[in-house]
């Protein structure tokens, strides 16, 4: 039996009827058409479904949509403002940290959360902040370089 929930996704309030077993990932992709959030493994191992829930990174394949009642969700589609890339998105582009692109949305959101919490991370802290996100193309060096570059932008503000 479906239940009504309210979610604010990328700044927009949505009232949705969801099945009790529906994940946040299901709702984002199937009901809201936000396909930037990827399903890689469906078991919380790869990080490709990472979104920000109340500003904190979560694996949307493991979070029931009903648990998100009344909360703010940010997906990759909600990061840029007026078509301008965020410092993290720009750094990923500038450093060539996008290969096939499948892991990129989750990596960008995890990096955004990391830099919001710790704007001056060491390389070890960057690796720790991204450890739940897998890149099947093994582009980790460029991804770490991108996060370092984004940190420089964060610290110029």
Q: What is the CATH number of the domain that holds 138?
A: 1.10.150.120
pLDDT tens digits, one per residue of 63-116: 999 999 999 999 999 999 898 999 999 999 999 999 888 999 999 999 999 999
Average pLDDT over residues 16-22: 97
Full residue range of the structural domain in which residue 116 is found: 87-155
9 and 72 both lie in a single domain: yes
d(CA 57, CA 115): 12
Among 78, 102, 131, residue at a domain's last position: 78
Res. 155 pLDDT band, cuts 50 70 90: confident
Last residue of a domain, one of 32, 59, 78: 78
Which domain CATH number covers 74? 3.10.20.30
Residues 93 and 71 in one domain: no
**Per-residue confidence (pLDDT) for residue 139, from 0 to 100:** 77
Distances (CA, A) of 133 to 12, 68, 78, 100: 27, 22, 20, 14
| Same structural domain, 9 and 68 | yes
Give the number of other Cβ atoms within 10 Å of residue 99's Cβ: 15
Same domain, 29 and 58: yes
Q: How far is CA 34 from CA 24, 49, 107, in A?
A: 11, 11, 17
pLDDT given at position 49: 98
Query: Residues 61, 36: one domain?
Result: yes
Cβ atoms of 104 and 92 within 8 Å: the answer is yes
**Tokens at residue 13, please?**
């309030």
- Total of domains in the chain: 2
């Amino acid at each position: 039996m479906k239940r009504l929930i309210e979610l604010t996704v990328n700044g927009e309030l949505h009232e949705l009827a969801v099945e009790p077993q529906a994940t946040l990932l299901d709702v984002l992709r199937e009901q809201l058409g936000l396909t930037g959030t990827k399903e890689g493994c469906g078991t919380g191992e790869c990080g490709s479904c990472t979104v920000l829930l109340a500003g904190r990174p979560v694996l949307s394949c493991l979070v029931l949509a009903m648990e998100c009642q009344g909360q703010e969700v940010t997906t990759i589609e909600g990061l840029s403002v007026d078509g301008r890339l965020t410092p993290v998105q720009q750094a990923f582009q500038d450093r060539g940290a996008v290969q096939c692109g499948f892991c990129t949305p989750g990596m960008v959101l995890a990096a955004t959360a990391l830099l919001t919490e710790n704007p001056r991370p060491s390389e070890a802290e960057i690796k720790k902040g991204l450890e739940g996100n897998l890149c099947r193309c093994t582009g980790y060096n460029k991804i770490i370089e991108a996060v370092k570059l984004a940190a420089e932008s964060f610290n110029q503000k």
